[in-house]
């Protein structure tokens, strides 16, 4: 376990990285690229150690550790090494105002300053280092708070970090609630948090005292809607993957399933077949099924299962607290108002299954809740899929699969409403950790125009000039709408003129 950071050190860390930011070190483009390369080296050269730590923390299978923690970080580093030169280029803008026609109008993305990244325990490599990479790419100094829950992984990162990264620009903090509380008393220029809504409200309240913007990557009850026409075995395979990957400890895990009432038993049968083929008759003996991160969370999940007011356990329900094992569990015929299973996000391997009569009822059930971080819909019919998407809200969507949209780093990842605010990954990370600085660059010339129209003393003539320049006449707008036909007419007249002349 990494040594807990003292409160005095926390103040020193924040003060120091701000001083370094102010002298410009992390803003240097070449420096950013060097640090991103060092991050890549840190992870790639120590994959085995990181994967071993993830095994100790959650018994993560090697495939899940690679795909969920290691590969995303390496891929993000390579993206920025390839694209950062392009991302930092000024964006040239065509002036809208006639008054600025001769001037340079640009948007330049500049660093925010000192960024606080609060990592999460369920993916303690990806969810700590991925936003850190974006903040480095943006030219910021960073304080990174590692998760105390995934203690083995945090200890490895803490050991490796100073060997690879410049700790004058980027510093780590270890500890629990007390250290996080101390951090939130400091002033930052952006706070990036991955976790739950309860803590997010505390973070927003603390950030508001300094008018600090926040990015909140939360969760919610992400549904999987199985349409009446769907292939049930494929649905079972992909929903099982979306639920039991990392033993359900993932913010975009399928939190409940909506299945047509007439196909409930078919779904249960297909699901049992999937789990038997993946984990065998006893998933506890399988090396492909992860463990719950600690005994406290085992107790929490046990309470959710035992305190339910509806539903029947049709698969699983086995618990070994000493082994932190909670079996893949399916509860059928759960009611939508069950306060235990349908209250908050489950964040574990319990899958409630609800039934519906028609797709409008399924949509209504989803819309009774806060928008989830992810929505999954399974159907062959594009019209039905579009109906669901047009009448629901969610942070992201994956059609006919689960989780895979999060792994596509070419699109932004983030929530809406109760599932969070802001987004990141790739270019969106760069945008999140930079400010769009709008610039109008004029020359010290044509002062006579200012004297004639802009400067006091004002008179009717100056007013008329200003109005002509600043307010476009409706007739001009109408004329512009016929721009292409007028061009075509002019071309025809020109051709006719030359044809006539040649005769």
Radius of gyration (C-alpha) of the chain in whole angstroms: 28
Cβ proximity of 247 and 291 under 8 Å: yes
Q: Is the pLDDT of residue 481 over 70?
A: no
Cβ proximity of 148 and 174 under 8 Å: yes
The neighbouring-strand residues paired with 223 are: 256
Share of the chain above pLDDT 70, in %: 94
Q: Where are the alpha helices (DSSP H) in 328-459?
A: 359-367, 382-390, 427-432, 447-453
- Res. 503 pLDDT band, cuts 50 70 90: low
Cβ proximity of 241 and 402 under 8 Å: yes
> Which is higher by pLDDT, 482 or 204?
204
pLDDT in tens, 138-172: 999 999 999 999 999 999 999 999 999 999 999 99
- Res. 493 pLDDT band, cuts 50 70 90: confident
Cβ proximity of 116 and 9 under 8 Å: no
Range of weakest confidence among 38-47, 72-81, 96-105, 315-324: 96-105
What pLDDT is attached to residue 2?
80
Phi and psi torsions of 468, nearest 5° = -65, -40
Q: Is the pLDDT of residue 501 over 90?
A: no
Cβ proximity of 356 and 344 under 8 Å: no
Residues belonging to the active site: 217, 251
Please list, in sequence order, all residues whose beta carbon lies within 8 angstroms of the beta carbon of residue 467, skipping any fewer than 6 positions away: none
Q: Is the pLDDT of residue 486 over 80?
A: no
- Res. 453 pLDDT band, cuts 50 70 90: confident
Give dist(CA 327, CA 320) in Å, integer: 9
- DSSP 3-state assignment of 217? strand
DSSP 124: T
Burial class (CB in 10 A: 0-12, 13-18, 19+), 471: exposed
Q: CATH homologous superfamily for 223-414?
A: Aldehyde Dehydrogenase; Chain A, domain 2 (3.40.309.10)
Q: What's the farthest any 2 CA atoms get from each other in the chain?
A: 100
Range of weakest confidence among 250-259, 313-322, 368-377, 448-457: 448-457
Give dist(CA 158, CA 173) in Å, integer: 9
Q: Is the pLDDT of residue 491 over 80?
A: no
Range of weakest confidence among 37-41, 120-124, 350-354, 445-449: 445-449
What pLDDT is attached to residue 456?
93
What pLDDT is attached to residue 101?
87
Cβ proximity of 112 and 240 under 8 Å: no
- C-alpha atoms less than 13 angstroms from C-alpha of 332 in its C-beta half-sphere: 16
Q: Is the peptide bond before 27 cis (omega within 30 degrees of 0)?
A: no
Give dist(CA 372, CA 385) in Å, integer: 17
Cβ proximity of 405 and 377 under 8 Å: no
- Res. 289 pLDDT band, cuts 50 70 90: very high
Average pLDDT, the chain: 94
pLDDT in tens, 377-395: 999 999 999 999 999 999 9
What pLDDT is attached to residue 477?
61
Full-model pTM = 0.92
**Overall average pLDDT of the 109-121 stretch:** 97
Cβ proximity of 434 and 32 under 8 Å: no
The neighbouring-strand residues paired with 315 are: 330
Share of the chain above pLDDT 90, in %: 88
Task: Tell whether domain 7-218+426-437 is in CATH 1.20.140.10.
Answer: no
Domain ranges for the chain: 7-218+426-437, 223-414, 448-502
What pLDDT is attached to residue 467?
86
């Amino acid at each position: 376990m990494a040594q807990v950071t003292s409160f005095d050190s926390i103040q020193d860390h924040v003060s120091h990285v701000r001083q370094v930011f102010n002298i410009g070190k992390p803003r240097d483009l070449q420096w950013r690229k060097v640090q991103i390369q060092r991050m890549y080296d840190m992870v790639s050269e120590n994959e085995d150690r990181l994967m071993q730590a993830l095994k100790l923390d959650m018994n993560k299978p090697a495939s899940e550790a690679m795909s969920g923690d290691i590969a995303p970080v390496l891929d993000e580093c390579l993206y920025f090494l390839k694209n950062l030169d392009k991302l930092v280029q000024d964006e040239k803008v065509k002036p809208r105002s006639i008054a600025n026609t001769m001037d340079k109008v640009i948007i330049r993305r500049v660093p925010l300053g000192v960024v606080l990244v609060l990592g999460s325990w369920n993916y303690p490599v990806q969810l700590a280092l991925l936003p850190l990479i974006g903040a480095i790419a943006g030219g910021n100094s960073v304080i990174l708070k590692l998760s105390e829950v995934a203690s083995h992984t945090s200890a490895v990162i803490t050991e490796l970090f100073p060997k690879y990264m410049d700790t004058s620009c980027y510093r780590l903090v270890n500890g629990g609630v007390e250290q996080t509380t101390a951090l939130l008393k400091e002033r930052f220029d952006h706070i990036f948090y991955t976790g739950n809504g309860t803590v997010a409200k505390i973070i927003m309240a603390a950030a508001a005292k300094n008018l600090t913007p926040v990015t909140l990557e939360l969760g919610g009850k992400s549904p999987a809607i199985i349409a009446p026409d769907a292939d049930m075995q494929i649905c079972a395979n992909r929903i099982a993957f979306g639920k039991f990957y990392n033993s359900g400890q993932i913010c975009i895990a399928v939190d409940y399933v909506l299945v047509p009432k007439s196909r409930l038993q078919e779904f249960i049968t297909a699901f049992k077949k999937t789990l038997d083929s993946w984990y065998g008759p006893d998933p506890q003996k399988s090396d492909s099924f992860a463990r719950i991160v600690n005994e406290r969370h085992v107790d929490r999940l046990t309470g959710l299962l035992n305190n339910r007011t509806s539903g029947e356990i049709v698969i699983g329900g086995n618990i070994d607290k000493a082994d932190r094992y909670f079996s893949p569990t399916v509860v059928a015929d759960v009611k939508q108002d069950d306060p235990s299973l349908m209250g908050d996000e489950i964040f574990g391997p319990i899958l409630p299954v609800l039934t519906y009569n028609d797709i409008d009822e399924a949509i209504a059930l989803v819309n009774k809740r806060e928008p989830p971080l992810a929505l999954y819909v399974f159907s062959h019919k594009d019209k039905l899929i579009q109906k669901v998407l047009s009448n629901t809200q969610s942070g992201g969507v994956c059609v006919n699969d689960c989780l895979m949209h999060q792994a596509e780093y070419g699109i932004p990842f983030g929530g809406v409403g109760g599932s969070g605010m802001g987004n990141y990954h790739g270019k969106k990370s760069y945008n999140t950790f930079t400010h769009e600085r709008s610039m109008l660059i004029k020359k010290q010339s044509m002062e006579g125009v200012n004297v004639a129209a802009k400067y006091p003393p004002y008179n009717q003539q100056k007013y008329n000039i200003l109005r002509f320049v600043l307010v476009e006449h409706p007739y001009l707008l109408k004329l512009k709408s016929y721009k292409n036909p007028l061009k075509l007419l002019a071309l025809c007249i020109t051709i006719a003129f030359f044809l006539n002349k040649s005769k």
